[in-house]
Structures are given as structure tokens and as C-alpha cells.
Structure 1
Amino acid sequence: MTFADHFETFHGLPVFWLPEPREEPLPAADGVAWRLDCYEAGELPFPELWRSFMDRVPSPDVRALVIGPWWDGEYTELRPALELIPADAERFPALRALFLADVTGEECEISWLQLTDVTPALEAFPLLEEFCVRGGDSQGLGEEALSLRPVRHEALRVLRFESGGLPGQVVRAVGACELPALEHLELWLGVSHYGGDATVSDLAPILSGGRFPALRHLGLQDSELQDEIAAAVAAAPVVAQLESLSLSMGTLTDSGAEALLDGQPLTDLKWLDLHHHFLSEAMADRVRNAFGSAGTEVDLSEHQTPHRRQNEEWRYVAVSE
């Protein structure tokens, strides 16, 4: 799967691409989510684009930032660009949302995005409410590898990692964080071939229900272990506090769906997202009827058919490379 389009809104604000310096006027600083994209800004190197942004936009009023392609010409890792943002954190007292790597597949495949330790971005902005990260280079080592350290953050309400292969270290770090305000957690786990080595046991702190008391939406998505995850969720204490649950984009089969039907009642959910699945028609009807009759909205769109390789069936996630 490729990401065909960039975000049009972020944190409830329309995304505005910072134009080249000669293009004025600009909107009010607090009225848009500012997108910084080296290509769209005349292929400026990111340090120059960052300085231009700081010079042209009243930074104390900025509420949301979206970082697009940070390289001009030949691809470079995120770390040097990301270091500039926490360094200027004191100039952004109103910043409430940060999205790292709103990059489409045409610009760079999600598994090729060389990220880094993203913890400093959280530590630098204690009032941040929404933090989203896309990517995770499967070959990344050391400072080029996506990583996270456990933190306590009082304000964060939305945390989203979009990856074709989310490292188990990141999943474990999320589970070890103290995020008392967190309402929405979304993890695209991906596949082992692209670095997604998280196990179901790595999810245990999240599934226990005691880690994030305000959590209302949980997404454990895009996994080649989707059946195992479904079975774990079916008995997980965290479900009792949720309003919505997403087990979408992965390799969910009748086995995982059966576990959901046989486990603890999930009919208190307002929304159950299972799109991109491998359920049989009969099982899809059972799921639809079981949850629909209880008033739970179920997304069973994007039914997939397994590929066959030498008489074996192969199931695929929605986002990998």
C-alpha cells in the first residue's frame, strides 16, 4: 500500500503548506497546521526552511506542525532535522500537535524512512496533545533506528505510530510510558520482514487496562499476528474502558474473529474496525449480526483474498513496504 495523499487536516486544523518566501500573505499562525516540506518550499535544505518558517510565522501562536519530506534531493535521515525542533521548543508555547513524516509512498516508501529516537520531541513539549510518527526503516541502526524511551507526559491525548514494521522496542516503550491523559492509541505493527518484531506479550501492559486510565480508542493494526492479537484482546481488561477498537489492516481470519465472538462481551463498543480482513463470508455475517444487533458499528470493508504460493496461502497486511 502507498500513501496517495497528504493529510488535509491535522489536530482539527486545515494543513497549510509553507510556500516559498516570495509568496505572501500567510494565514494566521494559530489558524492552520503548518506543513514544512523541502520540495514544496523550493527545495530548500531543512535548516534553511526551518529558519524561514521561524522568520515569517509568529511561532508563539503556532498550534500544530506537520513535517513532510525533510530532504532536498538525495534522501537523508530524520535526526538532523528533528534536532532543530526541540532546540527551539521555548519559541512554541502554544504547540499542541506534531506529526513527523507525513510522506507519501511516491516520495519515500514507509519502510525506508530513516527515523531516530523521537522521545526528545515529547520531552520538549510538555503541553503537546497529539503526536504522530510515520515510518521506521527496517535497516536502521543506532541513531537511524526509530526508537522511544518511556516517559511521563501529562497532556498527551493522541499517540499514533504508523509503520510497516514497528520495532518491538517502541511497543514496549509505549507500554512503559505514563500517559494519564491518553485517549487514543494507534499502533501499526507491520511485518517482521520490515522490522516489525513486536510480540503479543509486548502488548500486555497496554492490554492490562491499568496503564492508560483515560484510553477510549485502541488500534492494534496492520499485523501479521492479527489473529493472535484478536485472541489476546478478547480477554483483555482494557476492553471494558474502550469506546472503539481497531484490529484492521492485518491478516485477520475466521480464527481471530471466532476468538472475538467467544471472548468477553465487546458489544459495549460503539465502533469495531476490522477493515482489510480475510474473513469468510459466513464469518463476516456472524460478526456483523452479533455486533450490529447490539448497536455496535462494524467496518468489514476491504475483504481480501489470500495469495497462493506453491499450494500455500499467503496473507498480507495493508501497509508493509
Structure 2
Amino acid sequence: MIPFSVLDLSLITQGATPADAYRNTMDLARLADALGFRRYWLAEHHSMPGIASAATAILIGQIAGVTQRIRVGSGGIMLPNHSPLIVAEQFGTLETLFPGRIDLGLGRAPGADQRTAMALRRDPHAPDRFPEDVVELLHYFEPADSASHAVRAIPGCGLRVPVWILGSSLFSAVLAAKLGLPYAFASHFAPGQMEEAIALYRHRFEPSDRCDTPHVMLTVNMVLADDPTEAGELVTSLYQYFLALRRGRPSTFPPPDAGLESRLPQQELAMLQHTLSCTFAGSQETVLPRFTEFLQRHRPDELMMAFPLYDQTARRHSMELAAGLSSLVDAGV
């Protein structure tokens, strides 16, 4: 059985507040824990009206505190925004508080527009140092010795927090392979290079003491309902949100709009169909054939699911239906 996990952006829906988003996130994390999902990850984004997970490490600690079993982590921390030492200390603290339950996924993108990225990073060349910064960060998690650890992450030193490379390009695939780290691909919003990146990662993978064989996790959007027509309406919230981003007018997460697709210009509709091609919207029965084909074709070691729905009740139900897909896939229904 392929392990299923959850990616949560802690969505701020239209008319709601970040406090509402956090309450929804805690509720969803407890449900994911009870349903047997393996991981619950938060993504670092900044200056975005619809996303409340900017202070990712803080939110990870809150989620770990209200759950029992599920691993909690970042999908991801955008390392060029931070000092590797600070990240090591933050995740060393989390690992100390919640032993064996913390993941650290690392990305190279800003998680923001360029103006916000400059406000975060100050140094425009920070992304170019991403490979070196990852190596430095890994070093802080190793057991200390006096020769090579003049600076130590306390806590963090010797804890060997599991580290993943996240990405949507061939660059991230090559880096993950070279460092012998597990690789998570952002297929839920950038599937263009997915097949090539996975193949490149698996072909070039160099075993390490952190990961002895290639390990791929793919991310998809799941919008499930009992009625496929209802799911087709619910997914229009994601379409509207993504269109607003592409048009340079980011917004809070909007309610569904049943007539949206019929009003969109063909060019925008084609863009959505391509960019969000790893989105599964429907009932369990209507989604299952395409979902099974996706798993068989790409052979991920794990699958991460985002649930971009406007209503929390619909989000919870979609997660419950998604959890049930695992047994249906295994049974070959």
C-alpha cells in the first residue's frame, strides 16, 4: 500500500481570518491522524492573502501538539529565506519536543512574489547558494566533533532530522539524487517536468546514510464528494484561486462558482487544465480509474494530497473519501 499524506496551506477562505484558518488546520490534522495518513506538511508562503502558513515552524509545532502519531513537517521551508543554522535550531527544537515525528522538506523558491522575496532575503543571490546551504544544514544535524563543528545547532546537533528536497524542476531532481535524499515533486501545481524529473532522480541517485534507495513522493490535489457533479463545482474554488494568482491579483480562497468554466477564455481554461492536470475531482468511483493509472504510471513511493476546498465540512469529507481510495486501489476495484 502506498502511504498517503496531507499537504495543507492553511487556507484563509473568503470572509474568514487567519485564526479561522488555524482552527481548520488543527481540525484537519487531527482527522488526518485518526484516518492513518503518514505525514501532515505545511508550506511556507509569504504576503499571500489566502495562505496562513508563513511562520511554518511555529505552525508545525502546534499541529504536532494536537496530534498523536502522524509525522508533521514542512513542504517546505524555503531555505534561501533563512540561515541554515536558524532552520537547524528550529527543527532541532521541534524534534526534541516531538521525537521521531518531524520532517524537514526544503525548497529553493521564494514562496512569494519578487518584491516580497527581496524583503525576506535581502540577498538576491541566495537561491544560487541553495545546494551549499542544504549541505551546511545537513551538517548541523550530524553528531558533533570538535574539528568540524565549531558552530553547533543546539538543539539539533546529532538529531538527524529527516530532510527532503522539494521541487518542480530538473535542478531539484539532480540535487536530491546527488545528496542521496528523498525527493518530493510539486506535481499539484507544476507537473510540466514531472516525468523527466522523476526519471532523472532515479537514474542518478547516489545512496547515502540517510536514504539508500531512491524515494519519490508526488503531490496531487484531491476534491472528492459523494456526487461527481458536486465535486466538479467544488473544484472551481481552486480554479478561481489559481487564476487570481496568475493574473497578479492574489486573493483569499473563494467559494465555488458552478458556471466558471463556461465563462473562461479558452486560453485560461487550457492553462488550468495543463497546470492543474494532477487534480482529481469527482466521487471515489469516478476518480478511481484515472487515479490508479496515475499511480501505476509514475510509481511513487508515497503520495501527498492537498485538499483545496472552500468549506471545512467538504474538506473533511474529501479527506475521508481520499483515505478510502487506498483500499480500493489495493483491491483493484
Q: Report which of the two has the higher share of helix.
A: 2
TM-score range, shorter chain: 0.3 to 0.5
TM-score normalized by the length of structure 2: 0.32
Compare CA radii of gyration and give the structure with the larger one: 1
Greater relative contact order (CA < 8 Å, ≥ 6 in sequence):
2
TM-score normalized by the length of structure 1: 0.33
